[in-house]
Chains A and B, each alone.
Chain A
Amino acid sequence: MLRRGIRALRLRVRLLIALRLAVAAIAIVSGGAALAVLVLRLRGMWYPLFVPEIALGAAVVAALFAGLMWPLPDRLVAVSADRRLGLRDRIGSALHFIRTGAASGMAQAAILDALGYLDSLRPRDAFPVRRPPWSTPAGICLGALLLAQVLPIPPLLLSQREREEKAELRQVAARIEPLAKDLEEAATQANDEEARQAARDLKKLAQQLQRGQLDKKQALLNMAELDKQLQRLDQRTARPKTAEGAAQSLQKAQQDSISKKAADLARQAAERGDHETANTLQRLAEQAKQSQDSRELNELARQLNEQAAKMGASLGLPPDVLGALSQSLAGGNAELSEQALKNLAEAAKDWPKNLSKEQLEALAAELKNLSQLLQGSDLQELTKLLDEASECLKSGNCDKASAALAKAAKLSKAGLANAKLAAACRACSGALGQGNGQPQYGRGGPATQKSIPPNASATQLFAPRQSDNPGELERVRAQINPQGPMMSTTEKGAPARSSESRVPYYRVIDDYSKTAEEALSKEEVPAAYRSTVRAYFRALQSGKPAMRQADKPEKK
């Protein structure tokens, strides 16, 4: 019973020791980690984000374990309990007498006396929980660690160059933020979770850049990562051709059709001697050529129909229902395009009654034309259905054509949303590309031979302009002359021919650097030039300015 009591006391003491050690560990580890994080951030060095927290957790666990395994002899626990409870060495003496087997009456009486006290003893009475001595420093150091990780470094502690970099990154954030919102909207419309995640990541990046939480290197890494994400989305959802382009082509075709037919009718009226009608038709033809608005074209088509009806001629022009469709496609308006297709599907049921065979054929030709214009765009499904509707109209099956158009109406919304998403991805990718450049050297544009003197020191690459035509991404691989040793000279200066890169700098630098390293490790580069090659790629990676004032290109 005595031993049981002492075991309970010992467990209590060990728990309290574990608590003290854990608090001390928190103070020491979080203090050291806060200092280390601060130094790393001031030096702009990268560190794994959760390592301080993991180290802290490990230290606490180790401290708890050490506390629970703390060596505590029975005698020490008993004597300490006696002292704290004012028992005047009852328990400690009783333990000693039991251990030594003291058989005297007094010893036995002392043991019984101690057991009487132990019966009513609670371990927490002897060893109450007190605030550990390191608790205040632990709180301060923990707070310091969290602040060191979360708060941006005050501008006072930054160098001039770092402050300029932060300002540039804030400008990039200002460009990215609205694009991220657009991307999120487009992703919601397209119901694309991956795109939504990309939009959220982009927003978060913009926030971090705005708050100055990232240094330039970290920002570039994050932007490169996001750009890869956006490229994946782009490739998944986008086609080179957009519905907007198709709509524009359709509008052009409609313009040509109306003006040509108006001109023909004007000639027929003039041959009949109806000059007034001929003039009206001529004016219509002129207006159609110049018109950019599909609503205006629809109105012109209606006027042309009226004139043709007066003259008793058949135009074979379809009713202007296609105008609403092309208009909504041009505006990327999913609801309108859906409604336009639905209207077409409804009207198609009455076409056998309302339209002649020639008109039906003309309408089929227009639908075919529209589907051809949409070929290769984001609206593949819509294109197929328009094709199907066209074939049905040609064969005179208006009901099937109506069904195809109704199906197209359902798909058009999703298709347009995808197109919008693709456009948003491209816009964001473009913004990231600009942000990854080196704006302090100019706003894009390659160096030209004129601006760099022949004996100038090595010129830093510029970030190229974002190309309108993205083209296909090409991987450039460094190669050694397969025929054996090659002549080499050291040249410092601009290349003999200037050319415009179509690939953003930050997309190729990793590959170039990796290939260079491989070449260096395989000793494919002459020994005398290895250090030069390394220094070159290191300079490209670090983004440090290496250009003198005289070497900067003239602004266009």
Chain B
Amino acid sequence: MAEPVIETGGQEPFSSAQGRQAPAQHARDQAERFRRLVDGLKKEVGRVIVGMDDVVENTLIALLAGGHVLLEGVPGLGKTLLVKTLSEALDLKFSRVQFTPDLMPADITGTMVLWEKPTGEREFEFQAGPVFANVVLADEINRATPKTQSALLEAMQEHSVTVAGTSRRLDEPFLVFATQNPIEMEGTYPLPEAQLDRFFLKVLVRFPSLGELHEIMNRTTGDSVPHATKVATKDEILALSQVARQVSVAEHVQDFALRLVLATHPDAEHAPESVRRFVRYGSSPRGAQALILSGKVRALIDHRYHVSVDDLRASALPSLRHRLVLNFEGRAEGVEPDTLVGDAMAAVARGEQDVPV
């Protein structure tokens, strides 16, 4: 196809002859590398994890967007295995923390330990906690006390840990995959809403189907257990995260994202009736950030260089479901946040302009 001339509304026209195609070609190359990495990752993860395509995809999106993920599902679905496999495929340092009610903050962040040198001198030495890894799996985060939770959450937010007055930067990329068990709620400390907001995505892990179960049995009860091989290094991941951030967003697409976030607020003009009735507080601007960043990654995966409204629709549930604070009536009625996010999307879609034909 001959390269078309792009009219730039008064600015100098753009044509390959003048060498302005170079940035576009460079972007295309980067996008191609991005897609190859994602496809490789999916393939490697797919060798170990059966099904869970949307979970895998959302997890990859969060990883490439540099966000933390909250995984919710009953025990034994492969949440830990998924995270571990990802770390293996990306050659990232992985650590796992099993949260229990007696877990202390120092167990997360590390602590100063008195140590005797061979010379006999004693000094305090910092013993890094499990948080000093690239990928941290916080299992059953809702079982630990709020104090312990906050230690991890601070690390998630700041990408640094302060112990004994000294801040220590965490190695990039730093990703936390927290899990929650929806059935054991007794004796737990559900994360406060303000803390939930720090998670980029909340992904629901569903029970596998019969076919998937068969495949799981075949893979895990045989004489060999598959492992993932390295696909990319952490530097490549960091670079491609930057590529993802370069994807452009048009004004009307961004407008959709922001109107969707606003529609989750009960006092918003275009909020649906269900939101007005059951929601106490809607999503924060972090929800919009999550929408846009997820959309950018999805666009690249879909061989596009711009974010579309469909990308935002696909990212809406994982990005917003954990950011809605239900009121008493909502909790009493057992209203699902997914339903409310769906209603908000429908309300925004109704308000979209279209030609009258």
* Interface residue ranges, A against B (CB under 8 Å): 1-3, 13, 16-17, 20, 72, 75-77, 79-80, 82-83, 88-90, 92-113, 115-116, 119, 127, 130
Contacts and interface: CB of A to CB of B under 8 A. Distances in A.
Contacts of B326: none
Contacts of B28: 105, 109
B305 A107 contact: yes
B354 A98 contact: no
A63 B95 CA distance: 70
A116 B1 contact: yes
Contacts of B4: 1, 112, 115-116, 119
Nearest to A78: B252
A99 B305 contact: no
Interface in B265-318: 302, 304-311
Contacts of B5: 1
Contacts of B186: none
Contact of A108 (B23, B31, B253): B23
A17 B356 contact: yes
B308 A76 contact: no
A20 B304 contact: no
A28 B246 CA distance: 53
Contacts of B8: 98, 101
A122 B28 CA distance: 27
B187 interface: no
Interface of B, secondary structure class, is mixed
Contacts of A115: 4, 6
B328 interface: no
A441 B233 CA distance: 115
A96 B24 contact: no
B248 to A, nearest CB: 4
A548 B31 CA distance: 103
B102 interface: no
Interface size of B as a range: 35 or more
A90 B24 contact: no
**5 shortest interchain CB distances as A-B pairs:** A105-B27, A105-B23, A108-B24, A88-B308, A93-B250
B357 A110 contact: no
A109 B305 contact: yes
A101 B20 CA distance: 13
B9 interface: yes
B157 interface: no
5 contacts: A1-B4, A2-B6, A92-B252, A109-B25, A115-B6
B21 interface: yes
Contact of A16 (B6, B248, B357): B357
A72 B308 CA distance: 22
Contact of B9 (A13, A72, A83, A99): A99
A82 B356 CA distance: 15
A109 B304 CA distance: 9
Contacts of B310: 88-89
A105 B24 contact: yes
A100 B254 CA distance: 14
| Candidate in A102, A109, A115 with the most chain B CB atoms within 10 angstroms | A109
B7 A90 contact: no
A110 B9 contact: no
Nearest to A115: B4
Interface in B1-30: 1, 3-9, 11, 14, 20-21, 23-28, 30
B121 interface: no
B251 interface: yes
Contacts of B156: none
Contacts of B6: 1-2, 98, 108, 111-112, 115
A108 B249 CA distance: 12
Given A72-B355, A88-B304, A115-B4, A93 B248 contact: yes
Given A1-B4, A99-B9, A108-B27, A75 B252 contact: yes
Given A98-B7, A119-B1, A104 B304 contact: no
Nearest to A103: B23
A96 B251 contact: yes
A102 B248 contact: yes
B246 A76 contact: no
B247 interface: yes
B305 to A, nearest CB: 4
Nearest to B312: A89
A110 to B, nearest CB: 4
A1 B305 contact: no
B353 interface: yes
A101 B11 contact: yes
Contacts of B306: 89-90, 93-94, 97, 106-107, 110, 113
